[in-house]
Structure 1
Amino acid sequence: MAEGAMNSSAPRQLPVLIVGSGSTGLALAQGLRKAGIPCTVFEKNAYHHGERDWNMGLHWGAPILKSLVPDGQFDEKVQSLQVDPYVPTKELDDLIWLRGDTGERLATITFGPFYRLRRSKLRDFLSQDLDIQYGKHLQNITYSSDGQSVTAHFADGTSTTGSLLVGADGARSTTRSLLLGPELGAINHIPYCATFIQQKFTTEQALYLRSFHPLFLASAHPNNTFAFFGMHDAPDPDDPSSWTFFFYVSWRSSLEEQEETKQWTDAQRVKQQKELAKHFCDPWKSALEWTPDDASAWYLGLTDWNPGLKEHRWDNHNGLLTLVGDACHPMTYQRGQGLNHSVTDAGKLRDALIKIQEGGNQAEVIREFEEEMIRRGGTEVKDGTANTGMLHDWERIKESPLFKKGMKKTDA
């Protein structure tokens, strides 16, 4: 008798439904695949690539990501995922801080190993061998009358039933909005913003800009602005003109100002960055001088959402639904903690689902998972927003979590 026929009468295990194919959702899916737990990833966009690319820091979360992917894959592939795959990752590296007006060194934060990963490369790596359905925009969630399953309903009229629905759909999570309503589930805007530029330069210019640090550099200015400069893509180590740099100046911006300027063109954003950079030392001053007036720009008003607030506690319907990553704890980025907490969520949820598979009570196991995640992530959200404020206040910058704790995980 064929194997399929022998197993045809066995009850089929419902899959875990993962909404969102960002790094968190894909890392979780890889971990479940490795554990033999069926899952399907649903992505609202029609194509895998079609969003803006950026880069992220992975450090204390690296061992967890390593545990989620197939054995040996992390060590084999991680170098190729970095902004410059030709620069070996150091066991310890320095994040150098410059005083924005004079260029003198303010501080050196030593930590490691530190992986600076391209988001697009990481998603390509984590997408391998997964069941991902594109063009699936979540519209509604329903639950079975016996409390044993959850169904995701999509805007295209299709639906899928699973054992658990995981909202991994980012800072502006549809899942979170469906759980809490459009007001409580909405992202929280804070009075800081930045304009990001990704730009190539001539060989001579690129070599000069990279002479300050091969990968990343930060600066705080006495005029209460903050800046970052780093590598985004180095496809050819022997052709500096092929390198793409990633840099920004951020500043305190009222919500009223953000609203008034939301329709600004890229040219207006670039002009504003050029004016801010005139007051900075190099590499920012020269990089913005050399950036064309018609360059592309990416403006971002900073946001957060604290899952630890009492009014933000969602009903997980006895363990049938949860949130992870930026859908649960979107935070500001200046301390480089977001990806690390997100992969930690994925690893801990993987562990929880294995426990359920081994007979644990789903409602209790998911409750315990959420309590730890909310405590840890909520603490980091508060720390991150406080850090952003201090980095834009020259009198308080050395009291910021980044200066005091570096890149270490906040103890919840």
Structure 2
Amino acid sequence: MGSVTAKPHVLIIGGGLGGLLLAQGLRKYNISCEVFERDDSPVSRTPGWAIAIHSLRDDILSIIPDDLPPLKQAVDHLMPLNLDAEIGIYSQGQRAVVRSTPEAPIIRANRFRFREWLSTNVTIRWGKRATRVEELKEELGGGVRVHFEDGTTAAGDIVVGADGVNSIVREHVLQRPNKETLSAIPAVVLVGEATMSGDAFLRQLSLGHSCYMTNDPVANRYFIFVGLRQVADTGDSGRYYWLLVSADPTFTGDGKNSDGTRHWTSTATKPELLARALEMTSTMDPKFTEVIRSTTAADMLDGPMVIRDVSADISDLPVSRVTLLGDAIHPMSPFRGEGAMHAFRDAIALAKALGKLTSNDWPTIKEIIGAYQKEIVQRGGDAARASRNALKVNSGGHGTMFAWGQPAAPAPEKVVTFESIRT
């Protein structure tokens, strides 16, 4: 689009965590960029749940400009409590944990605060839903143009699709619709939220400072994940979310069973979804289901949460001025908690690679993007397959329980008191 001697201008489609981290990295390396986000504002949608920043903390900070506030103080979901991030894993009567240590520090971040931190001094165009990507001929100077639903366009030298599971940019890159590359994981995920206060809050923190999970004690039918979204400013209550995950080979994700009949979740009301969750977990130790029993029907997610990953072989990802990161290239289930970390790995790698560019020379850009894509396709594909398999492990099957990039280690439960967490 411009002079070959000028540094490229990068268009990032999607203002989630991966896209914003890439934008910060490009700022660090003095590569101009814009972020285009389909939401009308930062609060247009529920901001999502908490996320663990573990093995990549230093790598993330290495590409962050100096004008951002300190990370932990800005995003830690346990603030204002004096507690370290910790997940408790309960299986077959045993307790194991992964927790933050000085040797392996972990920050469990409130997603909204983290997104806000990553938005610092980044140009974000809100209300921009991409509909089409156009690549200009290299013999005419090259470049890319993105078309948006509101009739506007944006021109640049490189487009990065960070637009999530249902990526419009992926459809352009692969030249086939998402329905041909994505498949629903055969699992029903019921989701609810509840605020826990006083002694009930302390009981949740004792099970796991940040979150905990446990599985069906009878027949390995399901597992429960309970996570803390954020602590109230007063420090005496917290907002929790929970996921009840059960394998269901008939579930196709489109409201139907595999035989074409209607799946029960397609017509279930919120009260019925909550009743199903309570019935399924009725044989479990009540301490693990207290947050479910504290949930009202109004705080249930409508229908099941459909989780998709890539079913097609995308090892032949074409190399052009349009590339992908995060869920746009390797969506995966949350059963190992690795999706966001791989989006961060992508963003860090791409920021460092593009940061080396001193011109808009196409052969150099092609070489950089080709090497980047080769690495992310292999790594992301391996992680997606491991995450899908974790559905069996988490439900009580054989295998090592992993969280936040580490195997869980046996640890006794420690009772949390307000006196101990306010000092």
Place the TM-score, normalised by the shorter chain, in its bin: 0.7 to 0.9
Q: Secondary structure at the match of 2:145?
A: strand
Pairwise CA distance, 1:399:
4.8
Tell me: CA distance 1:400–1:98, structure 2 relative to 1, closer, same or farther (3 Å): closer
Distance 1:46 1:328, change over 3 A: same
Distance 1:96 1:228 in 2: 10
Name the residue aligned to 2:258.
none
Match of 1:262 in 2: 266
Contact persistence 1:184–1:311 (CA under 8 A):
no
The answer (yes or no) to whether the contact 2:337–2:403 under 8 Å persists in 1 is no
Counterpart CA distance in 2 for 1:144 and 1:257 is 39
Q: CA deviation at 1:145?
A: 1.9
Cα deviation, residue 40, structure 1? 0.5
- Which residue matches 2:279? 275
For the residue of structure 2 that corresponds to 1:377, the secondary structure is helix
Instruction: State the match for 1:369 in structure 2.
Output: 372
Distance 2:234 2:75 in 1: 15
1:327 aligns with 2:316: no
Distance 1:321 1:255, change over 3 A: farther
Aligned partner of 1:137: which letter?
R
Paired residue secondary structure (1:344): helix
Who is 1:28 aligned against?
A: 22
Q: Counterpart amino acid of 1:214?
A: H
What is the Cα deviation at residue 199 of structure 1?
0.9
How far residue 229 of structure 1 moved from its aligned partner, in angstroms, is 1.7
Q: Distance in 2 between matches of 1:201 and 1:108?
A: 22
2:173–2:322: 8 Å Cα contact kept in structure 1? no
Q: CA deviation at 1:284?
A: 2.8
Deviations 1:14-63 (A, max 9, x none): 52000000000000001101111100101112222222221112111212
Using CA pairs under 8 Å that are at least 6 residues apart, name the structure with larger relative contact order, 1 or 2: 2
| 2: CA distance, partners of 1:109 / 1:330 | 24
Partner of 1:212: 207
Aligned to 2:155: 161
Identity of counterpart residues, as a percentage?
A: 24
Give the alignment of 1:294-333 within 5 angstroms. 294-297=298-301, 299-305=304-310, 310-311=313-314, 313-317=316-320, 320-333=321-334
Between structures 1 and 2, the one with greater helix share: 1
Task: Give 1:105's aligned residue.
Answer: 94
Instruction: List aligned pairs for 1:107-146, cutoff 5 A.
Output: 107-109=96-98, 112-146=104-138
Q: For the residues of structure 2 that align with 1:404 and 1:21, how far apart are their CA atoms?
A: 25
Q: Secondary structure at the match of 1:314?
A: coil
Distance 1:297 1:72 in 2: 38
Partner of 2:227: 230
Root mean square deviation of aligned Cα: 2.8
Gaps of 5+ in 1: 1-8, 408-412
User: Taking structure 1 as reference, are residues 293 and 158 closer, same or farther at Cα in structure 2, changes over 3 Å only?
Assistant: closer
Residue 245 of structure 1 and its aligned partner are, at CA, apart by 1.4
Question: What secondary structure sits across from 2:347 in the alignment?
Answer: helix
Q: Is residue 2:78 matched to residue 1:81?
A: no
3-state SS of 1:84 partner: coil
Instruction: Provide the secondary structure at the position in 1 that maps to 2:209.
Output: coil
Cα pair 1:198 1:232 within 8 Å, conserved? no
Q: 1:290 aligns with which of 289, 294, 298?
A: 294
- The aligned amino acid for 1:397 is H
Moved more, 203-212 or 371-380: 203-212
107-116 vs 268-277, greater mean Cα deviation: 107-116
SS of corresponding position for 1:78? helix
Residue 245 of structure 2: aligned partner? 250
Deviations 1:112-138 (Å, cap 9, x if unpaired)?
Answer: 322211111111111111111111111
Indicate conservation of the 8 Å contact 2:39/2:128, yes or no: yes
TM-score w.r.t. length of structure 1: 0.85
- Please give the alpha-carbon distance, in whole angstroms, between the structure 1 residues aligned to 2:404 and 2:172: 38
Matching residue's letter, 1:107: A
- Opposite residue 227 of structure 2, the aligned amino acid is G
**Residues 241-282 of structure 1: CA deviation (Å, up to 9, x unaligned):** xx2112222111234475222343322222221222212224
Of stretches 44-53 and 199-208 in structure 1, the one that deviates more from structure 2 is 199-208
For 2:75 and 2:182, locate their aligned partners in 1 and report how far apart those are by CA, in whole Å.
30
Q: Closer, same or farther in 2 for the Cα pair 1:156/1:305, shift >3 Å?
A: same
Q: How many angstroms apart in 2 are the aligned matches of 1:314 and 1:244?
A: 41
CA change 1:228–1:31 in 2 (3 A) is same
Cα drift, residue 372 of structure 1: 1.0
Q: 381, 384, 406: which one pairs with 1:381?
A: 384
Whether the 8 Å contact between 1:279 and 1:285 is mirrored in structure 2 is no
Secondary structure of 1:17's aligned partner = strand
Q: How many residues align structurally?
A: 386
